[in-house]
Copies of this chain bind each other. A is one copy, B any other.
Amino acid sequence: MDRIVVIGGGPAGLSAGIAAAELGAPVTLVERNAFLGGRPVEENYASITPYLEDAAMVMGRMEERLRAAGDVEVLLSSEVVHAAGDGPYGLTIRTPDGERVQEASAVVVATGFTHFDPGRETQLYGYYEFPDVIALQDLEAMLKEHHVVRPSNGEAPRRVCFIQCVGSRDRQIGNEYCSKVCCGVASKEAIEVRQLLPDSEVFIFYIDMRMYGYWERQLYWPAQEEHHVQYVKGIVTEVLPKDGRLLVRGEDTTMGRPMETLMDLVVLSVGMEPSPGTRKIAGILGLAQNKFGFIEAQQPPLDTVGTSRPGVFAAGAALGPSDLEDCASSGGLAAARAVALWRQHQTVGAR
């Protein structure tokens, strides 16, 4: 029988799967990892924005709700490798037990993002050259262990800085978009570093603080007022080793002057790029993509989930930079559209 196939078991895929199954449709969720939870679980996020709740626990709650939701089949360590038809689709799924074909009335693509690889601009910040230059997700893993140290010597850092917009808002590298969440995530991690290491000084070098909606008061003001994180409007142009520490050079645009400052730990706020899964599934299903490789919604802004193929919907960061709320909400709309189509097919089939 036709099912709804959700591809991806992160925040958007779980949201879509829950909504579809609670609407009474049979759901097959295909996840390439051996576990559900997406990036927050895969990359060992300590906590999620904006309330600093344990990431694994939040994602675990979603997994429980999915598994309790009705006719739900979860295929782990599995991938969609081929699609036949033009809606409904016959999807070939490679599972640990071999390949199978699943008829799908509708497909929800929730294949998410990957972090920008700062090695692509290694000449600027030295991500692969200097051990104490790390990325947001590296710091998350340390925060998860409640153990934040300089990788070079295992000591607690006294001065920590975040550099925003690494791989975002950057025409030279071709990512002419804002990755939407990095300001919030950096502020959240900065708060956690200050809580864990009260003697540390923490700086955030930013172009614009994109703390839209409630993040302003949930993260940005508390970071400054309660946790004394120091926000510096400025552009960092290079990071160099000096005296066993890191020299951060750039321009302080508020003061209007060049800036040089020593840090123990530099955290690159890397932006979002389409995940390999997003690129792959776009190819398999023949979905229109934008110039960055994200799946392109066809009728934005008021249909956020429709793709260029009938019966294929996309949700969350497969569509572009997304926060968790975006994932939950667009997952829900995608599920509603998918189930409406599945119901049509049931009615036709019953004739």
Q: With the chains together, A323 CA to B211 CA distance in Å? A: 14
B331 & A221 in contact (Cβ 8 Å cutoff) = no
Write the nearest CB–CB distance from A328 to chain B, whole angstroms: 5
Question: Do residues B333 and A329 form an inter-chain contact, with CB atoms below 8 A?
Answer: yes
Partner of A323, one of B208, B214, B301: B301
A336 near B19 with CB under 8 A, answer yes
Report the minimal beta-carbon distance from A72 to chain B, rounded to whole angstroms: 14
A155 interface residue (CB < 8 Å to B):
no
Cβ of A212 < 8 Å from any Cβ of B? yes
**A321 proximity list for chain B (CB < 8 A):** 212-214
Q: How far is the CA of A20 from the CA of B23 in the complex (A)?
A: 11
**Within 8 Å of chain B (Cβ to Cβ): is A153?**
no
CB distance from A319 to the nearest CB of B (A): 9
- Min C-beta distance of A15 to chain B, whole Å: 7
Measured between alpha carbons, how far is A72 from B254 in the docked complex, in Å? Answer: 55
Residues in B whose Cβ lies below 8 Å from that of A169:
216
Task: Provide 28 A-B residue pairs closer than 8 Å at the C-beta atoms, listed in order of the A residue.
Answer: A11-B302, A19-B336, A22-B336, A22-B337, A23-B336, A23-B339, A23-B340, A48-B301, A51-B300, A177-B216, A178-B211, A208-B208, A208-B209, A210-B210, A210-B211, A213-B321, A254-B254, A254-B256, A255-B256, A300-B325, A301-B325, A301-B328, A304-B325, A304-B328, A305-B329, A332-B332, A333-B333, A335-B336
Closest 3 CB pairs of A and B: A332-B333, A329-B329, A301-B324
Q: List chain A positions with a Cβ less than 8 A from chain B.
A: 11, 14-15, 19-20, 22-24, 48-51, 58, 61-62, 169, 176-178, 180, 208-217, 221, 253-256, 300-305, 320-337, 339-340, 343
